[in-house]
Amino acid sequence: DAEITQSPRHKITETGRQVTLACHQTWNHNNMFWYRQDLGHGLRLIHYSYGVQDTNKGEVSDGYSVSRSNTEDLPLTLESAASSQTSVYFCASSEHGYEQYFGPGTRLTVT
Protein backbone atom coordinates (compact mmCIF):
# COMPACT_ATOMS: atom_id res chain seq x y z
CA ASP A 1 0.00 0.00 0.00
CA ALA A 2 1.10 3.54 -0.71
CA GLU A 3 2.17 5.47 2.35
CA ILE A 4 4.11 8.38 3.78
CA THR A 5 6.81 7.75 6.34
CA GLN A 6 8.93 9.96 8.54
CA SER A 7 12.20 9.22 10.28
CA PRO A 8 13.32 9.34 12.94
CA ARG A 9 10.13 9.30 15.00
CA HIS A 10 11.92 10.81 17.98
CA LYS A 11 15.10 12.86 18.04
CA ILE A 12 17.00 14.64 20.78
CA THR A 13 19.74 16.98 19.69
CA GLU A 14 21.86 19.79 21.11
CA THR A 15 21.64 23.47 20.34
CA GLY A 16 23.71 24.41 17.33
CA ARG A 17 23.77 20.99 15.67
CA GLN A 18 22.49 20.37 12.17
CA VAL A 19 19.53 18.02 12.03
CA THR A 20 17.79 16.43 9.06
CA LEU A 21 14.31 14.94 9.24
CA ALA A 22 13.36 12.53 6.49
CA CYS A 23 10.03 12.28 4.68
CA HIS A 24 9.27 9.63 2.06
CA GLN A 25 6.02 9.02 0.17
CA THR A 26 5.14 6.27 -2.26
CA TRP A 27 2.04 7.84 -3.86
CA ASN A 28 4.12 9.65 -6.47
CA HIS A 29 2.51 12.93 -5.37
CA ASN A 30 3.99 16.11 -6.77
CA ASN A 31 3.11 18.24 -3.74
CA MET A 32 4.90 17.80 -0.42
CA PHE A 33 4.73 19.91 2.72
CA TRP A 34 6.40 20.29 6.10
CA TYR A 35 4.49 21.58 9.12
CA ARG A 36 5.35 22.04 12.74
CA GLN A 37 2.79 21.57 15.48
CA ASP A 38 2.98 23.42 18.78
CA LEU A 39 0.43 23.83 21.54
CA GLY A 40 -1.57 26.98 20.99
CA HIS A 41 -0.35 27.41 17.41
CA GLY A 42 -1.87 24.47 15.59
CA LEU A 43 -0.10 23.41 12.40
CA ARG A 44 2.17 25.96 10.77
CA LEU A 45 3.66 25.58 7.32
CA ILE A 46 7.46 25.54 7.14
CA HIS A 47 8.31 24.73 3.51
CA TYR A 48 6.57 23.12 0.58
CA SER A 49 7.36 21.77 -2.86
CA TYR A 50 5.26 21.32 -5.98
CA GLY A 51 7.73 19.08 -7.75
CA VAL A 52 11.35 18.12 -8.28
CA GLN A 53 13.70 21.08 -7.86
CA ASP A 54 10.84 23.28 -6.63
CA THR A 55 10.84 24.59 -3.05
CA ASN A 56 8.90 27.40 -1.40
CA LYS A 57 8.97 29.10 1.98
CA GLY A 58 6.02 28.87 4.30
CA GLU A 59 4.92 30.88 7.30
CA VAL A 60 7.76 29.83 9.63
CA SER A 61 10.70 29.00 7.36
CA ASP A 62 13.52 30.80 9.21
CA GLY A 63 16.17 28.31 10.32
CA TYR A 64 14.89 25.52 8.07
CA SER A 65 15.70 24.38 4.54
CA VAL A 66 14.45 21.70 2.16
CA SER A 67 15.58 20.21 -1.12
CA ARG A 68 13.63 18.11 -3.64
CA SER A 69 15.84 15.91 -5.78
CA ASN A 70 13.17 13.29 -6.54
CA THR A 71 9.40 12.90 -6.30
CA GLU A 72 9.38 10.63 -3.25
CA ASP A 73 11.48 12.57 -0.72
CA LEU A 74 11.48 16.00 0.91
CA PRO A 75 14.05 16.12 3.72
CA LEU A 76 13.84 19.00 6.20
CA THR A 77 17.12 20.39 7.54
CA LEU A 78 17.58 22.52 10.62
CA GLU A 79 20.83 24.31 9.88
CA SER A 80 21.68 25.13 13.53
CA ALA A 81 19.10 23.73 15.92
CA ALA A 82 17.63 26.11 18.48
CA SER A 83 15.47 25.39 21.53
CA SER A 84 12.62 27.25 19.83
CA GLN A 85 12.61 24.49 17.22
CA THR A 86 11.56 21.87 19.75
CA SER A 87 8.29 20.70 18.25
CA VAL A 88 6.46 17.90 16.49
CA TYR A 89 7.10 17.94 12.75
CA PHE A 90 4.68 16.57 10.19
CA CYS A 91 5.27 15.88 6.56
CA ALA A 92 2.36 15.68 4.12
CA SER A 93 1.81 15.04 0.44
CA SER A 94 -1.02 15.69 -1.99
CA GLU A 95 -1.93 15.83 -5.61
CA HIS A 96 -3.37 19.00 -7.20
CA GLY A 97 -3.90 20.66 -3.78
CA TYR A 98 -6.61 18.29 -2.70
CA GLU A 99 -6.50 15.95 0.28
CA GLN A 100 -3.20 16.05 2.09
CA TYR A 101 -1.94 12.80 3.56
CA PHE A 102 0.10 13.27 6.70
CA GLY A 103 2.93 11.19 8.04
CA PRO A 104 3.10 9.99 11.65
CA GLY A 105 5.27 12.89 12.80
CA THR A 106 8.74 13.37 14.28
CA ARG A 107 9.08 14.65 17.83
CA LEU A 108 12.23 16.79 17.99
CA THR A 109 13.72 18.02 21.26
CA VAL A 110 16.55 20.53 21.18
CA THR A 111 18.44 20.75 24.48
Partner 1 sequence: QQQVKQSPQSLIVQKGGISIINCAYENTAFDYFPWYQQFPGKGPALLIAIRPDVSEKKEGRFTISFNKSAKQFSLHIMDSQPGDSATYFCAASKSLSGTALIFGKGTTLSVSS
Q: In the complex with partner 1, which residue's Cβ is closer, 70 or 96?
A: 96
82-85 own/partner pairs: CB under 8 Å, 24+ apart: 82/15, 82/110, 83/15, 83/110, 83/111, 84/110, 85/36, 85/110
53 lies in the site for partner 1, by CB under 8 A: no
Q: How far is the CB of 32 from partner 1 (least distance, A)?
A: 10
CA–CA separation, 39 vs 6, rounded Å? 21
Number of shown-chain residues binding partner 1 (CB under 8 A):
23
Could you tell me if 30 and 106 are in contact, meaning their C-beta atoms sit under 8 angstroms apart? Answer: no
- Of 17-25, 61-69, 77-85, 96-104, which segment contacts partner 1 by CB under 8 A? 96-104
Residue ranges in contact with partner 1 by CB under 8 A: 31, 33, 35, 40-45, 48, 50, 58, 90, 92, 96-100, 102-105
